[in-house]
Structure 1
Amino acid sequence: MGSDTPWYQLESGDAISMLARMGYASRGLVYLLIGGLAALAACGQGGQAEGSRGALQSLLGAPFGKVLLGIIALGLLSYSMWRAIQALKDADHHGKSAKGLAIRGGLLVSAVTHTLLAFYAVSLMFRLSGSAGQGEGSSGLVSWLFQQPLGRWGIGLVGLAIIGAGLAHVIKGVKAKFDKHFRMPSAVQVWAYPVCRFGLVVRGVVFVMVGCFFLMAAYQISPGEAGGTEEVFNTLRAQVFGQWLLGLVAAGLFAFGIYSVLASIYRRINPVL
């Protein structure tokens, strides 16, 4: 379809491709914010390093912050829709093997989490009740799960799933498995691939740590033990050479943001309808 075709006349595949690319770009902006704020904190130029919700909240003080939040929220919803299509329609051809179904299940979980993040961005725009409590995300989810039948086991499974996703990110980065989904000029690959690999590995390590927090919460029956990216930052800061570790992870998450933006431009999108 020609580039001058109006958006309302796009074919379904073109529309899905547009949603996916907008989604990858929005995820990239969120991680660029997370990594940038964490880097400032590591250098002593900012406050406490924040996770995804804190990064979004930081936009409230920026010029046209609510407009930016609205754009990111729309992009995150688009990304959630693309993740759901990947999972349910098997757009990347993972298949129905145990490994393939596990990957598709992870994509579906990603769709849910990014939908929640999009609604959080909307709540910030309109200053809805409870929007300031960005630190309660993981522990609030765990508290709810504890109230369900077999909730403790459910929390443990969530932790294992997050660890599995983290290890998959590390492997994807080390082996550059993202290459099969990219159509990128060689001149760009020279600098982009090292950045992408570094970003994926660091994000994978962060996921593994978050998964361990969930396992600890399940083992100790304590919702407060669960945590997200912000708790990872706090844990790293408390270690020997904590500022250096925080700076390294900040750089990695910033690199993952670049990877996501590159995906919005160069990734092959294969909508399956």
Structure 2
Amino acid sequence: MRTDPSGALTTLTRLGFASRGLLYLVIGYLILKSGRTEDTSGALSMLAEGGGRILLGLMIAGFLAYGLWRLSDAVFNIERHEDGKKGLAQRGGAAASGVVHLFLAWQAIRLFNQSGGGGGSGGSGTQEQAQSALSLPGGQLLLVVAGLTLLVVGLLQFKKAYKAEFLEHLEPGVAHQPWARYSGQAGYAARGAVFLISGAFLTSAGFKEQAGEAGGMEEALTWLTSPWDLVVGAGLLLFGVYCLIEARFRVINDVPVDGIANKARSKLPI
């Protein structure tokens, strides 16, 4: 019996949404329970330690499928974004999300190949990357642009939370449920706060040419003082809940795997 590669990719993409949800549930839970801060890499390491190789293998498959689905959206517009600047921006965001989740898959593969799980990602990771960027020609400008980009992304997350734009991707019967709206709004607002703080850190590092000023999610969460750390932590936990809702109820347009493959074959020399 012939299998449907597009349907299989869609199923695994839902697994990717669930995997992302698990990461944010861990991040939010740790903040609320003990004040411990982790980024997605650190949460992935903790899940690898607690869940073992089977869970990690499922998350690898999910992240790979999710990353490929987002990149396919960027290239082939499978989510049917509108024409013009807004559509191009949405497809650019899809491409960035795809790269991020393929990177998470790569990190998960590294953990899978280790005999035991690793610790957290470490607070110096972002600073080391910033130092590497500063060593390049034009590295200072690169950091400033990256920081400003994160600031814009943070504002867009708040816009998405305020307008509840994310609901348009859910099945209609679920999109009108208060638990879907409020978990998504809280989650996107919390992510917006993290992006804004991280963007400010990175922009400062660029202007001052000091890699020590840089910081990612972990540093942003550490910077927050009470009660804002708990507020953002609760928001990130709710974003994890919303990702699980997406895993079940998001409308996912299939990637035309057969069509893409046939088109690629037609361009090969005979």
Q: TM-score range by the shorter chain?
A: 0.7 to 0.9
Counterpart position of 2:244:
261
Residues 28 and 235, structure 2, Cα contact 8 Å, conserved in 1: yes
Equivalent residue pairs, number: 255
Counterpart position of 2:25:
32
Cα drift, residue 9 of structure 1 = 0.5
Cα drift, residue 217 of structure 1 = 1.2
Residues 106 and 161, structure 1, Cα contact 8 Å, conserved in 2: no
TM-score, normalising length: structure 2: 0.85
AA partner of residue 29 (structure 1): L
- Please, which runs of 5 or more residues in structure 1 have no aligned partner? 1-5, 43-47
The one-character-per-residue Cα deviations of 1:85-122 (angstroms, maximum 9, x if unpaired) are 12112222334523332332222122222222222222
1:151 aligns with 2:139: yes
Counterpart position of 1:224:
212
AA partner of residue 16 (structure 1): L
Task: Map 1:37-76 to 2 at 5 A.
Answer: 37-42=30-35, 48-62=36-50, 64-76=51-63
Query: In structure 2, what is the Cα distance between the partners aligned to 1:258 and 1:86?
Result: 24
Query: In structure 1, what is the Cα distance between the partners aligned to 2:212 and 2:221?
Result: 16
AA partner of residue 62 (structure 2): G
- Please, which runs of 5 or more residues in structure 2 have no aligned partner? 257-270
1:196 aligns with 2:196: no
Query: In structure 2, what is the Cα distance between the partners aligned to 1:57 and 1:11?
Result: 30
Counterpart position of 1:9:
3
Cα drift, residue 155 of structure 1 = 1.7
Query: In structure 2, what is the Cα distance between the partners aligned to 1:140 and 1:92?
Result: 36
Q: Is the alpha carbon distance of 1:145 and 1:109 closer, same or farther for their aligned partners in structure 2, counting shifts above 3 Å?
A: farther
Q: Is the alpha carbon distance of 1:150 and 1:67 closer, same or farther for their aligned partners in structure 2, counting shifts above 3 Å?
A: same
Query: In structure 1, what is the Cα distance between the partners aligned to 2:149 and 2:155?
Result: 10
Q: Is the alpha carbon distance of 1:103 and 1:164 closer, same or farther for their aligned partners in structure 2, counting shifts above 3 Å?
A: farther
Query: In structure 1, what is the Cα distance between the partners aligned to 2:150 and 2:78?
Result: 22
AA partner of residue 28 (structure 1): G
Query: In structure 1, what is the Cα distance between the partners aligned to 2:205 and 2:19?
Result: 31
Counterpart position of 2:104:
117
Task: Map 1:137-148 to 2 at 5 A.
Answer: 137-148=125-136
Moved more, 179-188 or 218-227: 179-188
Residues 168 and 175, structure 2, Cα contact 8 Å, conserved in 1: no
Counterpart position of 1:215:
203
The one-character-per-residue Cα deviations of 1:151-204 (angstroms, maximum 9, x if unpaired) are 221222221222222211111111111122111425971322111111111111
Q: Is the alpha carbon distance of 1:22 and 1:133 closer, same or farther for their aligned partners in structure 2, counting shifts above 3 Å?
A: closer
